[in-house]
Chain A
């Protein structure tokens, strides 16, 4: 029996090692060396024939595991944007045409693997910019993106305000800050007369900041957080332990969220446990996506969160949604919308900088490419802040007691100037715009 016990302990050890190895070892595919060679060959020939040169753009993020769809939405958006840019002939710098290709690698939201992927893409594919959609991966990437001769532009898809505090000159933050939702949710909740809130938000850098920020704003108003039960949305699928504890405190509302798919499970399990009150979704979760997973809005009366992409309100949004959903067979989410617009902004910044491989010059040229408005883009971007935050609307939309989506409210959050608001109202195609200055 003792031998068997030893064997068991050994087995346990091996399983642990294995899980580690599996987490480290799963990339989507090997870098495509032959293509790279072709690109290099092309470079030499192009000088004469002016054949377009292919620029590889990097992406690393969760492409397997519970957050896989979130990662894929990002990849799809970038890819769809690249396809569009390429079909319009790419970009032209000094008479030389450039087209784009996306290299997407899986890191299962594991920061160690993120760094490995990033170094590999930088070394072997010379990518000038890397997209990543998970804050706990973005922060370590921002540690290495300024290494001399290995610089890359960090295209950060995370609404975490901390990105701006990291003081990095080579970062572009794509979506609006989540502080907009924190403020808007707290305002709406307070005006509804709700006082006791319970939180079941995802663990990790992004979720931790969300919880802290919301607690601060809410308690400042005089409200109470009666339960704070975080869960790891990236690895867990059963939230009944946390939900039971949170609901036992009889909250007036629940604040939940992480990636949309596990968030749908949380909403469903909360209703299963008999909770009928309002549910606020953090901005990473998209209510139209949650509704699709749950087969409709039956369980989602009284939910509020980021507006459904169908209700963005720009001319191009509907066309984009139709084309995107036809091509990828999945619901169009804000990730796709913002990433599509961001890759266009990146291409425009390269053209503006006159370089496809100098991250510093590209970053410096970035603020000059705005505004990007609703005739050509599904989401509108108006300007860029000093730390690389792109200025686009943050909005909140509620689902009423009949399960219908109400008209979304959009916030201009980067200024408190009425003139700027009027200016934006002049160029924007979106209705229902309000000022709500937040301090990042």
Chain B
């Protein structure tokens, strides 16, 4: 039983980051139909910015996380403005290509600036905690709590504020939204900023537990795509639930069956769910 709880806890922590990254991706991909492959690299960049602020300017951990979110928010807006906006209305393949270009650019720039070897951010909260028979660190608890808070705040923002509802409006009908006076370009910028800031937050929260490398986003973005397809494209609830499902599948499958096949379980779950429900968990039949 203890082992089960321990694995559930591990799965929830993994799932929290997956959910945050997938939420950002579903916002830009599902809602604005931009296949942002570079999302994992924005995640990676977020971790490096946090590392940079802490190691070079002696920022406190939280100050660095928030600054990193702001900086990545701005980077996200620039990416939208200069990489994707010029391609709106053109064949999808163009956006694919520029997304790949951006991915390579980001990964290699980071490798040039910070080097390819792994970096570590010192643990801000290294103490261990005992809870319900499981042992963990404060940092891991913080990841879970912070992720939940941010996910709730984002939901409230989108459902309850005027700026948030414009995102949904643009998602439903870009031209219709324009007709009622919504500044579509501004909404796109804002969506990218939120998406990138979320990736930065997830990466920064995880950074003290793991190591940061220029390639850390590669497998993650793949998993994020799995999650948003699994959850139903464009569905925020789907991305959140999908993230936690994937985290749990990996940790329970890895812990109880075989750790060597962790990723097999994750991608196997995708195949299974799509076979049963081709539109994903929260996907609509057609629009």
Contact = CB atoms under 8 A, between A and B. Distances in A.
A274 B7 contact: no
A236 to B, nearest CB: 8
A302 interface: no
A69 B233 contact: no
Interface in B142-157: none
A242 B254 contact: yes
Contact of A240 (B10, B35, B280): B10
B210 A237 contact: yes
A327 interface: no
Contacts of B35: 7, 11, 14
Interface stretch (B66-74, B81-89, B174-182, B215-223): B215-223
B163 interface: no
B256 A1 contact: no
A1 B284 contact: yes
Nearest to B7: A244
A236 B100 CA distance: 23
Interface residues of B, number: 63
A16 B222 contact: yes
Contacts of A265: 210-211
Given A230-B259, A245-B256, A72 B117 contact: yes
Nearest to A62: B116
B7 to A, nearest CB: 6
Interface string B218-255: 11011001101100011000000000000000110011
Contacts of B96: 11, 14
Nearest to A73: B117
A55 interface: no
Given A69-B117, A231-B259, A2 B286 contact: yes
B283 A1 contact: yes
A75 to B, nearest CB: 11
B250 A19 contact: no
A22 B107 contact: yes
Contacts of B159: none
Contacts of B218: 19, 22
Given A5-B278, A11-B35, A237 B211 contact: yes
Interface string B83-123: 00000000010001000100110010001000011101010
Contact of B103 (A12, A18, A63, A261): A18
Contacts of A244: 3, 6-7, 10, 255
B185 interface: no
B212 to A, nearest CB: 9
A45 interface: no
Contact of B225 (A8, A235, A245, A293): A8
A332 to B, nearest CB: 16
A12 B226 contact: yes
A211 to B, nearest CB: 11
Interface in B124-152: 128, 130, 135-137, 140
B232 to A, nearest CB: 9
At the interface, is chain A mostly helix, strand, loop or mixed?
helix
B213 A64 contact: yes
Nearest to B221: A15
A19 B255 contact: no
Nearest to A18: B100
B145 to A, nearest CB: 17
Interface string A270-295: 01111000000000000000000101
A244 B250 CA distance: 13
Given A1-B285, A68-B116, A69-B117, A12 B225 contact: yes
A238 interface: yes
Given A11-B37, A14-B37, A245-B3, 8 more contacts: A7-B35, A8-B228, A9-B229, A11-B225, A66-B211, A66-B213, A237-B210, A248-B6
22 contacts: A4-B33, A5-B233, A5-B279, A5-B280, A7-B92, A8-B29, A8-B225, A11-B96, A18-B103, A19-B222, A22-B107, A22-B215, A64-B117, A66-B118, A230-B259, A232-B260, A238-B209, A245-B256, A245-B259, A248-B3, A272-B128, A295-B122
Q: Which 4 interchain pairs have the tightest Cβ spacing?
A: A64-B116, A237-B210, A274-B135, A248-B3
Interface of B: 2-3, 6-7, 10, 13-14, 29-30, 33, 35, 37, 92, 96, 100, 103-104, 107, 111, 116-118, 120, 122, 128, 130, 135-137, 140, 209-211, 213-216, 218-219, 221-222, 225-226, 228-229, 233-234, 250-251, 254-256, 259-260, 262, 278-280, 283-287
